[in-house]
Amino acid sequence: MEIISQNKVHGGWLKRYQHHSDVLNCDMTFTLFLPPQAEEQAVPVLYWLSGLECTDENFMQKAGAQRLAAELGMAIVCPDTSPRGTNLPGEHDSWDLGSSAGFYVDATEQPWESHYKMYSYVTKELPELITESFPVTDRKAISGHSMGGHGALICALKNPKAYSSVSAFAPISHPSDCPWGQKAFSHYLGNNKDNWAQFDACDLVAKSSSPIPILVDQGSADKFLSEQLKPEALTKACKDNDFALTLRMQPGYDHSYFFITSFIEDHLRYHGKALGLL
C-alpha cells in the first residue's frame, strides 16, 4: 500500500491509500478513518459504500461522520465505486455504467468480467487487507447510499454472519426492476435474470435463512424515488418474508449529501450499538 494523504480530524486520522487489487486486476484507492482509540486498541469497522459518480472521498468529505465515529471508537472504510484505469470499451461513455458505477456485483460478461468484481473486492479482499494492516477487530458493519445502499444490502444479505448490522440511505432497493439496475445488470451479468436475483435485495430477502435487521432512511423529495429506488418493493419483500425492516421516510429531504449528513449520526449510533460500542 502507498499512502496518498493523511489529515488529523477529531483526534483521529483520515488517511487515503492506493493498493493493487488482485480481484479487480488494477490499482485501487480507499479512504480510512481511524478514531483516536485505535492508538491504544483494535476497533470495529463500518464499511461505507458510495453511489453513482462518487469515489472513495465523497462520504469522508461531506457526511460529517468523523466526530461521532471518534467518540464511539469506530473506524470507517470507504472503498472506491468501481475499478479505475482499465479503459475498457464503453467504460467511460455514460455516468451510470462503468467508471464510478460498479454496482457491487461480480461481472460475468465481457469486457467487464476481467475487472468488475466489486462484490468480491468489498466483501473479501478489502476487509482482509484492512484487518491485516490496521488496528481493527473482525467486527464490522456496512452502510451506503443509493447504488452503495444497494451494495450494503446485498453484501449483508448474502453474508449475514459477516456483519453486525446493515443500513442504507435511499438504496436502489430492487435493481432488477429499475432503469439503473437493468442497464448495469444486463451489461455486467447478462440477460439471465436468475443471475440478477443473486444481487437484488428484494430477491435475497426472500431467500435469506439468517435475517439481519435493516435500517433505511429515504427522503420524500428524492427525485429518483419512484422510478429508481422503489422502497415499496423492499417493504413488501420484507413484510412477505417476516424480515425486520425499519424504513423511515424523511419529509422534504432529497438524494444529496445534505440528506445523509442530517441523519448519519442516527446510523452511526445504530451500528455502534450492534458493534458493542454503546
Tell me: the pLDDT tens digits for 183-217? 999 999 999 999 999 999 999 999 887 779 999 99
Give the pLDDT of residue 208.
Answer: 83
Q: Give me the average pLDDT of each 10-residue run along the chain (278 residues).
A: 98 98 98 98 98 98 98 98 95 96 98 98 98 98 98 97 97 98 98 97 89 95 98 97 96 98 98 98
In 3-state terms, the chain is what percent helix, strand and coil (to 5)? 40, 25, 35
What distance in Å separates the CA atoms of residue 31 and residue 60, rounded to the nearest whole number?
8
Which one of 150, 255, 267, 271 is the catalytic residue?
Answer: 255
Domain that holds residue 120: 2-274
Which one of 80, 200, 203, 222 is the catalytic residue?
Answer: 222
Give the pLDDT of residue 42.
Answer: 98
Reply yes or no on whether 222 is catalytic: yes
What distance in Å separates the CA atoms of residue 167 and residue 73, rounded to the nearest whole number?
19
Coil, strand, or helix at residue 194? helix
User: What is the count of structural domains for the chain?
Assistant: 1
Shortest CA distance to 105 belongs to which of 238, 169, 29, 197?
197
Which one of 82, 100, 146, 173 is the catalytic residue?
Answer: 146
Q: Tally Cβ neighbours within 10 Å of residue 74.
A: 28
What is the distance, to the nearest Å, from the Cα of residue 14 to the centroid of all Cα atoms in its chain?
Answer: 19
Reply yes or no on whether 255 is catalytic: yes
Give the pLDDT of residue 226.
Answer: 96
- Sign of the dihedral through C-alpha 123, 128, 133, 139: positive
Reply yes or no on whether 143 is catalytic: no
CATH number for the domain spanning 154: value is: 3.40.50.1820
